[in-house]
């Protein structure tokens, strides 16, 4: 039975047409994935017909035979509360921070008129979506859960009222490879058990290939290709679908041509980092446990592992951006000063690029000021004219139009904002870049261009790179060597090709399997 039908769907925001003539259908118990680059109209297609966007919707969007285009807000609110469940990209922002998981699950459970659930029923609902210690989770607030745990809790809330349709808008983008696979498998299992239809928005083609029955490829607001998933991804007919597939990093792609490796640059020995346990519990949580790691001049090293494995904590300790309890870090043979004693020349040599490009840029500053700021602080040898010239040079080097220099971050696309962040890091002339999930928030086409840019910059400048990522395919595309972490320790390391081809540790094997 066909549950959802979109026919000639048009969506506008102001004078801009976001979606044009979109048509697709989903049967009960089946799944359809909308894929495409950022700005292609995927999320608006899923959200606007349900009244979750200020957009104007025209055409037809029928759920179980009921037309939603033109429906009153009261009716749409009823549909959202009774017939549809929503799983969003960022579970931390989708959940109410001052309410416990139990309170939010109870609200979702009763919004369709169901009786108030017992504590045992709610615990069983959390256990069903794979949350351990479900009774304890009921009393916790969202910030006390990991990203994967929050997403599982959000899924439990989305299906608590037994909806006919589940809408999942980029539900795994912020998760590591193993969690992505688990969450996608969970969504598929729940749809099979409940007979729900699934409308999935994703730019993760590997996840779509394994978990969606059909796929619709969107570009510039139009559906350019649709059909069974294996047919579309295995033999795409449109140029745009072929470009999407080609841009997706793959473990079976030809090995990249990487630059030469020089003398030792960073030598970290017995690095340990701990944090005070949250809440009423006493003691400290050991996040990084006596880790040794080296990076040479011109070498790209990836630190991979699951969420909470200590990847970012280790990298921030090495770069003096975060705390360190014990251990030594040497830079070109000399001890690197503690965080508060770092000199301008130390900071200039090791520059970071963070995961969320827009959030890492000051929203009130123009691009030229954002790029100039570290130059003024870290390069006192440059006068005003030299700073301006350097800003212009690095913006050109990262492929940005000079006219963007007077824009603010809100007026940039995700890819443009990340190029600005890279330009800011390049300005002081570093010997090493720290990339903390620098492409995970971007769609495959944009992420591919950023990786190509980083590879080119590495070769041109002989840059060393310390990359934090949960995607082995991304690590392989850029890095000479891969270091695998779990529970604060390095469990395996080696040349990228060898480690992926023959993983020795079970954690590495799981990461490889999840990335294929």
The CATH T-level fold of domain 2-247 is: Rossmann fold (3.40.50)
Q: What integer best gives the mean pLDDT of the chain?
A: 88
Quick one: pLDDT band at residue 281, thresholds 50, 70, 90? low
Tokens of 158: 């989305």
pLDDT at 300: 95
pLDDT at 148: 73
pLDDT at 101: 93
Distance between CA atoms of residues 384 and 305, nearest Å: 43
pLDDT at 194: 84
Task: Please give the model's pTM, rounded to 2 decimal places.
Answer: 0.76
pLDDT at 287: 87
pLDDT at 92: 73
Average pLDDT over residues 432-442: 84
Residue 268 dihedral angles phi and psi, to the nearest 5°: -105, 130
Share of the chain above pLDDT 90, in %: 47
Most confident of 150-159, 250-259, 260-269, 300-309: 260-269
Asked whether residue 366 carries a pLDDT value surpassing 80, the answer given is: yes
130 and 187 Cβ atoms separated by less than 8 Å: no
pLDDT at 358: 73
pLDDT at 411: 78
CA dihedral (99, 101, 105, 107) in degrees, to 10, reads: -10
Domain 264-357+431-515 is in which class?
alpha beta
Asked whether residue 89 carries a pLDDT value surpassing 80, the answer given is: no
113-122, 176-185, 385-394: least confident range:
176-185
Average pLDDT over residues 31-60: 89
In the chain, CATH 3.40.50.300 sits at 2-247, 264-357+431-515
Radius of gyration of the chain measured on its C-alpha atoms: 24
Tokens of 105: 């699950």
Using CA atoms, how far residue 456 sits from 143, 299, 396, 423, 463, in Å, is: 39, 13, 14, 13, 10
Average pLDDT over residues 47-53: 91
Taking alpha carbons only, the member of 175, 239, 245 closest to residue 206 is 245
Asked whether residue 174 carries a pLDDT value surpassing 70, the answer given is: no
pLDDT at 261: 92
pLDDT for 446-476, tens place per residue?
788 888 889 989 988 899 999 998 888 888 9
Residue 433 dihedral angles phi and psi, to the nearest 5°: -110, 135
218-222, 298-302, 357-361, 475-479: least confident range:
357-361
Asked whether residue 297 carries a pLDDT value surpassing 70, the answer given is: yes
DSSP-derived 3-state class of residue 42 = helix
Average pLDDT over residues 409-414: 78
Asked whether residue 381 carries a pLDDT value surpassing 80, the answer given is: yes
- Residue entry with tokens 């940005």: 400
Average pLDDT over residues 120-146: 87
249-258, 447-456, 464-473, 480-489: least confident range:
249-258
pLDDT at 500: 92
Average pLDDT over residues 231-244: 89
478 and 300 Cβ atoms separated by less than 8 Å: yes
Taking alpha carbons only, the member of 217, 155, 161, 216 closest to residue 189 is 155
pLDDT for 191-219, tens place per residue?
888 889 999 988 777 778 888 999 999 99
pLDDT at 278: 58
Asked whether residue 425 carries a pLDDT value surpassing 90, the answer given is: yes
91-95, 295-299, 328-332: least confident range:
91-95
Task: Using alpha carbons only, give the angle 193, 194, 198 rounded to the nearest 5 degrees.
Answer: 105
Asked whether residue 304 carries a pLDDT value surpassing 80, the answer given is: yes
Asked whether residue 5 carries a pLDDT value surpassing 60, the answer given is: yes
Asked whether residue 383 carries a pLDDT value surpassing 70, the answer given is: yes
């Amino acid at each position: 039975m066909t549950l959802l039908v979109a026919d000639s769907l048009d969506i506008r925001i102001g004078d801009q047409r976001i979606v044009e003539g979109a048509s697709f259908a989903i049967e009960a118990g089946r799944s359809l994935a909308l894929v495409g680059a950022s700005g292609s109209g995927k999320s608006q297609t899923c959200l606007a017909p349900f009244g979750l966007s200020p957009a104007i919707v025209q055409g037809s969007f029928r759920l179980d035979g009921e037309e939603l285009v033109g429906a009153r807000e009261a009716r749409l609110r009823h549909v959202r509360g009774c017939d549809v469940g929503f799983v969003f990209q960022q579970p931390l922002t989708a959940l109410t921070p001052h309410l416990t998981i139990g309170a939010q699950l109870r609200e979702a459970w009763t919004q369709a008129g169901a009786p108030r659930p017992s504590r045992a029923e709610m615990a069983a609902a959390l256990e069903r979506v794979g949350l351990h210690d479900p009774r304890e989770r009921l009393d916790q607030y969202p910030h006390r859960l990991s990203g994967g745990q929050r997403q599982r809790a959000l899924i439990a809330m989305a299906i608590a009222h037994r909806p006919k349709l589940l809408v999942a808008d980029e539900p795994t983008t912020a998760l590591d490879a193993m969690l992505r696979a688990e969450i996608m498998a969970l969504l598929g299992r729940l749809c099979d058990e409940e007979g729900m239809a699934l409308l999935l928005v994703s730019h993760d083609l590997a996840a779509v290939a394994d978990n969606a029955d059909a796929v619709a490829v969107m570009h510039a607001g139009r559906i350019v290709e649709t059909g069974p998933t294996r047919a579309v991804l295995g033999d795409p007919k449109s140029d745009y679908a072929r470009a999407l597939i080609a841009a997706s990093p793959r473990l079976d792609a030809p090995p990249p041509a990487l630059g030469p490796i020089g003398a030792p640059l960073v030598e970290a020995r017995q690095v340990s980092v701990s944090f005070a346990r949250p809440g009423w519990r006493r003691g400290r949580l050991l996040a990084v446990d006596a880790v040794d790691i080296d990076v040479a001049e011109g070498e790209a090293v990836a630190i991979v592992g699951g969420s909470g494995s200590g990847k970012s904590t280790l990298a921030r300790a090495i770069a003096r951006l975060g705390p360190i309890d014990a251990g030594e870090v040497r830079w070109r043979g000399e001890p690197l000063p503690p965080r508060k004693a770092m000199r301008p020349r130390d900071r200039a040599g090791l520059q970071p690029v963070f995961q969320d490009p827009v959030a890492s840029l000051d929203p009130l500053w123009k691009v030229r000021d954002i790029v100039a700021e570290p130059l003024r602080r870290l390069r006192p040898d440059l006068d005003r004219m030299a700073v301006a010239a350097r800003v212009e040079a690095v913006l050109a080097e990262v492929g940005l139009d000079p006219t963007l220099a007077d824009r603010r971050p809100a007026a940039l696309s995700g890819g443009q904002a990340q190029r600005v962040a890279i330009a800011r890091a390049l300005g002081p002339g570093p010997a090493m870049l720290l990339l903390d999930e620098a492409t995970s928030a971007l769609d495959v086409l944009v992420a591919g261009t950023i990786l190509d840019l980083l590879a080119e910059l590495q070769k041109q400048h002989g840059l060393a790179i310390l990359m934090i990522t949960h995607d082995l395919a991304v690590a392989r595309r850029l890095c000479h060597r891969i270091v695998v972490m779990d529970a604060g320790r390095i469990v395996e390391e080696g040349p990228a090709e060898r480690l992926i081809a023959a993983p020795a540790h079970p954690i590495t094997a799981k990461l490889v399997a999840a990335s294929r």
